[in-house]
Structure 1
Amino acid sequence: MCLAWDFLLSKDRIWVAWFRNCYLKKASYWNVVVKGSSSAVWRSIVAVRDFIKSNYRFQIGNGQKTKVFLDPWCEGKFLSEIFNRRTLGCLSRDKNICMSAIITDGQWDEGILGNTTQDLMQAFKNLLMIAGEDQLQWHTPPFGFQKAWEAARVKNQEVTWATLCWNGGRPRWSVHAVLIMHRAVISHDFLQKRGFALASRCYLCYNEVENVDHLVCGCEYVWKVWSFLSHVCSWNLHRVFALADLLLQFDQSQRKDVKKIIPSLFYSYTIFYMVGEE
């Protein structure tokens, strides 16, 4: 996001000039096609352009940095998305024309805009005119990184196991618990999905294939540990074979000591299992 912002503002930096000469040339940032050979940095810069179009607005100064047809200055859209070719042809037939061509003494040239329709003329007049060079501005100033983050991030419903993983304890335990929830621990099924050819079998019971559900609660030896803890701590757990069902029992529990110990249990058991398997 910050790199795209610096790139659009055309700051006097070597990397900005290099990217423009390498990837843009005569094209526009807003419609350039990303090639397979493009760098990861350039891909990340191009990936946020739709977000920038919808959350930023153009301020016209001398008009030398803003293209009439190639920049989405009209409410985040290109003129070609709003007006037909005949209407735009009355303005100019040069696709690379800049705003400076229709600005005279800091004002819109009525002689040029007078040849267009009333709607197109009003679109130009709705732009904010400023002194100096053209600028990009956050749609609701002042700009803040928190505002940009809240607008850019994908907001999903909070998962029910978030409090179980991050409810106290060491960060190492919590991170490992999150990996289990995302099924990202290096179990046999995790390796098989990535092309490793191996025969899967639980190291403890030798009866079932090794996956997250089996490692956490499906294995009969693992469930003996859960049963022992349930008896000692009065948790009242019921036999389950899936991680989701086990989490549902913990989530419904009102006891804080139950929820605090879950990350440490997941971490300790998995490390024990991996070491024993080695």
Structure 2
Amino acid sequence: MSPVDSEPQPLPAVSRTAVWTAQLRADESRLARPCVIDSWAAEFVAAAGPVGPLPGGPEARAFLHDGVAVRSRYFDEYLLDAVRGGCSQVVLLGAGLDARAFRLPWARPVDVFEVDLPDLLDFKNRVVGGRVPATARRVTVAADLRDAWADALTAAGFDPGRRTAWLCEGTLAYLEPDQADMVVRTMAANSPPGSEVGAENATSLDRLGCLSSCRDALSADGAPWQWSLRDPGAWWAERGWHTAAPSMSLPYVAERLTRYLPMLREAGDMGGWLLTGTRRENHPAGETEEPLSGTKRRAGC
């Protein structure tokens, strides 16, 4: 692919984190043995123009690179499995410069809703131009997750009666705790039994010393991390989702993350940074149930 325009297209400063994430995916795609190949990422980065280097020191950048690589592949596989299992809608909350509607080999036609801020979606659509996914129907929904985003999603054609695969990747940590809570409860309220969720949780960001420079830089840039969880499984269960974390037995997870385990244990990380889960029948959001013990298929067992 080549950019639709020869000159870089301006991107709002508030969305620079999306460009940094795309840069990490572009860097990963160039490795000899990548976790994920995203041929769109470099195109978005080139169109955005200079946004400066990823914040933080070398250790933080290495940790974030490996983390983004693992989460991208994990959520790619989760979404493909969910659609094969019967979910006919995919909703990407805080979609950023995600190109899954285009790049994933969907097993069957699926509606992919990309929810994000208007300026970011305008930029993204200018780069995408007239290109359409081979299998998915891509629908962009301009909305702020701090507001009544479900109304905008429904107005765009989302059907709350159909099984849905939700994804919150690189999103919830930027919301205040009550806002993150409302997003997750809103997903549950708009999901029939059998719907699925994939989510990234901030579990030790405030306790990892190597990320202090990154935290400070993001705060100065107007994008502070505001939300984290000690026990993600219990938190999600209380909001209507039965969840499990990825197993370290997954080869790509072990290869890329094992070296960080001592650092995470020292920070008191209980796990659950990445989760996938299912909306259970007759389980209203807010009612507590026991989280899975790690036997869910998506956990790699």
Query: Same fold per TM (> 0.5)?
Result: no
Structure (1 or 2) with the greater strand fraction: 2
The two structures have a TM-score, normalised by structure 1, of 0.23
Higher relative contact order (CA 8 A, sep 6+): 2
Structure (1 or 2) with the greater helix fraction: 1
Q: Which has the larger radius of gyration?
A: 1
